Structure 1
Amino acid sequence: MPTTATSAPQRRRKTSSSARRDDDAPIIPILARKVREVEAKAQRGKLGPTNRVKFQVIAFLVREERARVKADAGFTDAVRSELLKRLDGVATILAKTAARDTSLIQLLEVDQATSPVARRMRRDWLLESGAELAPDELIITDEAPKSTSVVPAALAERQVTPLAIEARQLANPFLAPDLSKPARKEAPRRRLDGWELMGPLYKAFEIGAGGSAASMELPEVPEYDRLSPKGLEVMPHQSRFLEAVRLGHRSFLLADEPGLGKTAESVIAASVAGAYPLLAVVPNVVKMNWAREVERWTPQRRATVIQGDGDDIDAFADVFIVNYEILDRHLSWLGSLGLKGMVVDEAHFIKNLTSQRSQNVLALATRIRETTPDPLMLALTGTPLINDVEDFDAIWRFLGWTTGDKPGPELMEKLDQTGLTPADKSFYPEARDAVISMGIVRRKKKDVAADLPDKLIADLPVQLDDEFGRSIRQAERELGSRMAAKYRRIIEARGERGRVYDDVDEDIIRLVAHNELEESKAAGAGGDNVFTMVRKIGQAKALLAADYAVQLQRSVGKVVFFAKHIDVMDAAENHFASAGLRTISVRGDQTTQSRQAAIDAFNNDPGVGIAVCSLTAAGVGLNMQAASNVVLAELSWTAAEQTQAIDRVHRIGQDEPVTAWRIIAAHTIDTKIAELIDQKQGLALRALDGQAVDAASSESVQLSALMHLLRQALGAA
């Protein structure tokens, strides 16, 4: 593509017998149409990579055509003036668009480098206008790929290598793997090599070509479940996905709705594919849940969660779990570990290709594909598209389906096999199907309702690894120590006759815990007791729970968010507002009319995304079945209160399975409270529904939680 207007080649135009207004410059109406497309995208804030290239090509052709019109002596002054005026109109729209998005200004520079995609786009528009091009303009070759480093220069000084990783490398008795890039195979020439294809691929999804669901054909459910560990069972829709992995498919955009078990599918898929070591890049709020799911579904494998600089990691683990925020400092050693697979959870987090987060993920993915034949690559997200179809760009690059400029070899072969080009209308449904067959899997709850329980409670453990979390754990230890001291004083007062050496005395455990509970109730919000401790845990979880609710809302639509304390509700509402979400609130201080107006808005207004509800004030008497997902940011002290909250959406009129997501602070009393609530729930099932479940203790959750803390302090947990 020429870089100056004066270097534009002379072109001969094909003419027709009929005189038309555009005969003198047939490229101008094409430019006018294209610039309006770019302007419309910019006005909606959806100016993705393809439209940025389009902007650049329009600018070059306007400059080129202006020089041609000025230099053509065959034009009368009137014709020349009219053509220049029309070109000025296109240039004005370009300028307005660049003013809206100032990052476009650099694309207007005369010496701005251009890609093969831009040159192909220019060529195609000129051919559409009827121009006859020189042979060297018709054949456009791709630039040689540039060698990329996993660690950009700006992050080199931030890299850490945990001592445990050095030990793993030294423990390997074999030669270090050769991580140099293998020799590239010469790709065969294809009929579509000369076409710009990324724009048509995005368009194929934008227009929903074909109208079918965007989910690849999966194998039938195998006759026997050979994958589930003892006591567990994969659901039929999960089994079909895993069967595709067993048959050799290795790259997936798994876009199932939340609650359908994407994490479990990914964990088992790694086992089926033997993709170890496996890297899972996940949001901070679900790191602990990933470790738990690895232990649950592949108990023979070890997972390690990377925190901070990774000082406490298990270097010999099979699965390494890291959150997006700290990935940048671990790029070096992860890039040399010999990873055989990579999972990106909530993959829409990488849609902004200019962000360092996206660049880190894509650099690691490129290294894995360069060094591992046929690695397992999984992108998990219920919302691959948030603003525009070009949100697919980063995910497709991660999976190796495209390079950003063009389809990868496998996708190119599928497109070539259609026998069509973007000039054919039937190309678009065929192109969409080709991309889907690369590994897009999308199921909704209603699609697999027969596989699901009608109500599922899913726990999401979160790590409180900040100062707040450390203070909570310290407060727990101090409370346990205080009760343990009382216990020992009672034992000593009873004398040798009442001393218990081999085990704790349960009667005294209960007595001490009961006294502590009564004192805590009397103190209320004052002092350090079990109630203030649980409240602090709720405050510490507030933003993590709110962040998960935002992700959930973008995946499935409406979400009901329950919290017990007003300050947790306030923090969540502020977070939702900063994320651009409209919410309603149901609190105890509302009038009946305002509360009902809020509920009606949630159920009927598609623009309201989240209902923020008080666990006590909104737990009964409300119908909120417009949602099928509930987030429990804080735990209740009773199983009945939790059930009542979930049943705000799990009621007559609900046509989808309901999932309640409990946010639980790992390594705190929160975990024990959740366990105790489940025991109380089991008691109701046994007593009222006749289900065979273990009998639960008759003690309150508060008392049982305090007894648990005391046993821990005595070393008898």
Structure 2
Amino acid sequence: MARRGQRQSGATRTVPPRRRRVRDADNEGILPVLAKAVREVEAAVQRGSTQSSLRTKFQVVALLVREERARVKADKTAGDARRDEQLRRLDGVATILAKSAARDTSLLALLAEDAVVSEAAAALKRELLTSAGIEPAPEAAPIVEPTVTEVKPERRVVPQSVVSRQLANPFLAPDFSSAESRGPRQQQMRRLTGWELIGPLLKSFEYAAAASAGKSLPEPSVVRVPGGLELMRHQAQVVAAAAAGHRTFLLADEPGLGKTAQALLAAQAADAYPLLVVVPNVVKANWAREAALWTPNRTATVIHGDGDTIDGFADIVVVNYEVLDRHVGWLGDLGFRGMVVDEAHFIKNKKSQRSRNVLQLSERIRTRTPRPLLMALTGTPLINDIDDFRAIWQFLGWINEKAPGADLMESLEDIGLTPADPAFYPAARARVVDLGIVRRRKVDVAADIPARRIADLPVELDDAVGRSIREAERKLAEHLVARYRSALETRTSGSTIDGIDHDLVRQVAGWERADPTRPKIDENVFSLVRRIGKAKAGLAADYAAQLAHNVGKVVFFAKHIEVMDTAEELFADRGIQYSSIRGDQSAKKRQQNIDAFVNDPDVSIAVCSLLTAGVGLNLQVASNVVLAELSWTDAEQTQAIDRIHRIGQDEPVTAWRIIAAQTIDTRIAELIDSKAGLAAKALDGSDEDLSSSSDIQLEALVALLTNALEASR
């Protein structure tokens, strides 16, 4: 008994310390910090407070809950009881967040995966982690933005003729005489202080696309153009707006409506010389020709390579994206009063060198010149996502990296609303549009341009190559199924789903797309699509040859060199004269081939690279296009078709799309068509579902895996 009593007494003595250790552990770390913070959020919401500091704390708590939950689940050293207790406490914090968001629904936007984390939120997050005794992870090195530090390319040059120009006028200084003083107005801004606004502004084009995006333009005045040329009404309206003092334009007219002429004449109306024009390499010679055509009294020069042949005293300087890094230094100092960016969607990736160069030059010009003329030209402003607007707006000075520019901010303050108010979005969209978004469709402003249609031509791949492609597609599907089942077996969440887990299907497709390299080339979606293109090449070329024989000139588009080579061999064997327009040609050679197709009646077919010749060319001498290979975006396909469906076309246009039946080609074509509404939704006020931001490559893999899983059930 005594021994039992001693044992019981000993056991009793060990209980308090154990409980104290558990209680100490529970009061340490991030959990008590989160519990205190979320109670503060709850109390503030109950009081009706919607200050920016509350929103910041709400978002930071949500972020830390997610991170801590993931850490706890991955921690293999903790026992099951300890892990369950931590997850239970985290669920309690999440429940309070959910209740708070139910009271103030504007907080829900901060829970989105893509919600922007402001500097204030990042600072608060570090503060909470530090108070919990956790060392915050080191911050990633910030991306050097062009507004702060100049881009430093490997090699920069200053052409001798530019040196001569600088020496001829060494006292030229920046003109700030008409710069506005914004001090008093900035002091009055209070309502939107602390709000993150770039995200809501972008989303306003998604949520509030109830009307066509188009700035109100004045009725056109008489615009003098050289003899033999004619300016259409919609073109003259932009020129009139520039003459009236408007200085920033996102000119997003559909391809073929004469944006080049509008930009050149707007620069003339605004006296925006010298004028810098940044363009893709394939069209810079054409810009010089158009400048000589529409503004013959102004000299234009084109920068090639190091710029040894340019005219440093020219009024218009044309440079392509590829060599811009060599010249960004002296271009920023020349004193341009206007800048045009052609095919402006080329700068959508702000981390790219071309985008950073363009943004740096825009900032330099806006710093040195009061109210310069800035024009972004693109027929396809949205390639993948609404976020593609961001770089273009920054080029125009409407926004900076973190917030709206001064003019836009004043305009948004005048609305009297915040992003928490549903009415903010249509009103904000209208204010952005009024800064200079101009979007006209052919059907609205150029009724004399005939209609166009896309006709699909399914072709059967019945030979050995076709069988090989179908076998490769089957192997890819089997590989995806194996990856799906492996992920299903190793998942740790414990949840089960009857039938196909479509969320997991998308995850597996995403993994495959991110790392498509497989031991066998047949098991790679990109190489599979390329093989399909090669297999269709002969059939597509044969159809183009038939069209050329029956209806006249034809434009043949392909993505890969092998497809172009196959087509050209077939045309040569049949004695059909053709012009080849490729990316590896010199500008002179490419222009010669374009001129041959346009002017020589014996040249029947233009064989064009989809990526090289899909922008900036006028090939309206033809009315039929053959698309031998499919694009990954509708925008790329549309650009190709619009090489012939443009002003000057007097016949209906047909694009013949060659599709390999019973292959993934068919599904890709369906996806392209289903996701063609992005620009229409954001700019034209279409009611189409805004789904073009989805990646067609990902969706194709999702469809392939889903079909394979359904077939195996």
Q: TM-score, normalising length from structure 1?
A: 0.50
Contact 2:251 2:438 in 1 (8 A): yes
Q: Where does residue 218 of structure 1 map in the other structure?
A: 217
Mapped contact 1:117–1:196 kept (Cα < 8 A): no
Give 1:381's aligned residue.
378
The question of whether the paired residues in 1 share the 8 Å contact of 2:336 and 2:365 is answered with yes
Deviates more, 1:574-583 or 1:363-372: 574-583
- TM superposition shift of 1:284: 0.9
- Give runs of aligned pairs for residues 242-641 of structure 1, distance below 5 A: 242-450=239-447, 540=585, 541=590, 545-548=609-612, 550-551=614-615, 561=625, 573=629, 608=669
Distance 1:453 1:321, change over 3 A: farther
For CA contacts below 8 A with separation 6 or more, give which structure has more relative contact order: 2
Offset, 1:546: 2.5
Q: Deviations over 1:360-413 (max 9, x none)?
A: 110110000100000000001111112111111101100000113111111111
Hey, what does 1:83 align to over in structure 2?
Answer: 89
In structure 2, distance between residues paired with 1:323 and 1:119: 39
What is the CA distance between 1:189 and its match in structure 2? 3.6
Q: 3-state SS of the aligned residue for 1:203?
A: helix
Say if 1:430 and 1:342 are closer, same or farther in 2 by CA, change over 3 A: same
Seen in structure 2, the aligned counterparts of structure 1 residues 257 and 161 have a Cα distance that, compared at 3 Å, is: same
* Counterpart for residue 208 of structure 2: 208
State the Cα distance separating 1:198 from its structure 2 match. Answer: 1.5
Unaligned runs of 5+ in 1: 35-52, 68-75, 91-106, 124-142, 456-524, 526-530, 554-558, 563-568, 585-594, 612-625, 627-717
Q: Tell me if the contact between 2:276 and 2:316 (Cα under 8 Å) persists in the aligned partners.
A: yes
Letter in 1 for 2:88: E
Alpha carbons 2:198, 2:402 under 8 Å: kept: yes
For residues 66 and 359 of structure 1, what CA distance do their matches in structure 2 show? 36
Deviates more, 1:78-87 or 1:253-262: 78-87
- The 1-side partners of 2:162 and 2:657 are apart by 57
Measured after TM superposition, the shift of residue 532 of structure 1 is 12
Q: In the TM superposition, what whole-angstrom CA distance separates every residue of 1:276-326 from its partner, at most 9, and x where no partner exists?
A: 111111011111111111111111001111111111111111111111111
Deviations 1:87-133 (A, max 9, x none): 7999xxxxxxxxxxxxxxxx99xxxx97447469999xxxxxxxxxx
Equivalent pairs counted in the alignment come to 431
Report the CA distance between 1:419 and its aligned residue: 1.3
Q: TM-score, normalised by structure 2?
A: 0.51
Which amino acid in structure 1 is aligned with residue 90 of structure 2? L
For residue 187 of structure 2, what is the amino acid of its counterpart?
P
Distance 1:596 1:366 in 2: 43
Aligned to 1:694: none
Alpha-carbon contact 1:255-1:440 (below 8 Å) kept: yes
Deviation at 1:580, TM superposition (A): 8.8
Q: Identify the residue that residue 195 of structure 1 maps to in structure 2.
A: 195
Q: Name the CA distance, whole Å, in 1 between partners of 2:577 and 2:657.
A: 34
Give the secondary-structure state (helix, strand or coil) at the position aligned to 1:295.
Answer: helix
Q: 1:549/1:146 Cα in 2 relative to 1: closer, same or farther (>3 Å)? A: closer
- Aligned to 2:63, which of 47, 59, 64? 59
- Check 1:165–1:9 CA distance in 2 against 1; reply closer, same or farther (3 A cut): farther
State the alpha-carbon separation in 1 of the partners of residues 396 and 171 from structure 2.
Answer: 30
Go from structure 1 to structure 2 and tell me whether the alpha carbon gap of 1:428 and 1:117 turns closer, same or farther (over 3 Å shift): farther
Contact map agreement 1:61 1:122 (CA 8 A) in 2: no
Shift in alpha-carbon separation, 1:15–1:240, aligned structure 2, 3 A: closer
Deviations 1:210-249 (A, max 9, x none): x100111111233xx2332232221101111111111111
Distance (whole Å) between structure 1 residues aligned to residue 581 and residue 333 of structure 2: 38
On the 8 A contact 1:158/1:329 being kept in 2, the answer is: yes
**8 Å CA contact retained: 1:263, 1:293:** yes
The separation in 2 between residues aligned to 1:453 and 1:12, in whole angstroms, is: 62
Spell out, residue by residue over 1:4-24, the C-alpha distance to the aligned partner (whole angstroms, 9 max, x if none).
99988955847999xxxx99x
Q: Kindly report which structure 2 residues correspond to 1:139-150, keeping only aligned pairs within 5 A, or say none.
A: 148=147
Equivalent AA in structure 2 for residue 230 of structure 1: G
The 2-side partners of 1:237 and 1:535 are apart by 33
1:321 is paired with a residue whose SS is strand
Tell me, in whole angstroms, the C-alpha distance in 1 between the residues paired with 2:325 and 2:658. 46
- Residue 338 of structure 1, CA deviation: 0.5
- One-letter amino acid of the structure 1 residue matched with residue 164 of structure 2: A
Deviation at 1:449, TM superposition (A): 2.2
Aligned pair 1:168/2:165, yes or no? yes
Determine if contact 1:54/1:121 at 8 Å carries over to the other structure: no
Kindly provide the amino acid, as one letter, of the partner of residue 218 in structure 1: L
Distance 1:382 1:582 in 2: 9
Identity, % of aligned positions: 47
Aligned pair in 2 of structure 1 residues 56, 581: CA closer, same or farther (>3 Å)?
A: farther
Contact 2:34 2:61 in 1 (8 A): no
Amino acid at match of 1:413: E
The separation in 2 between residues aligned to 1:16 and 1:115, in whole angstroms, is: 21
User: 1:208 Cα deviation (Å)?
Assistant: 3.2
Cα distance, 1:207 vs. partner? 1.7
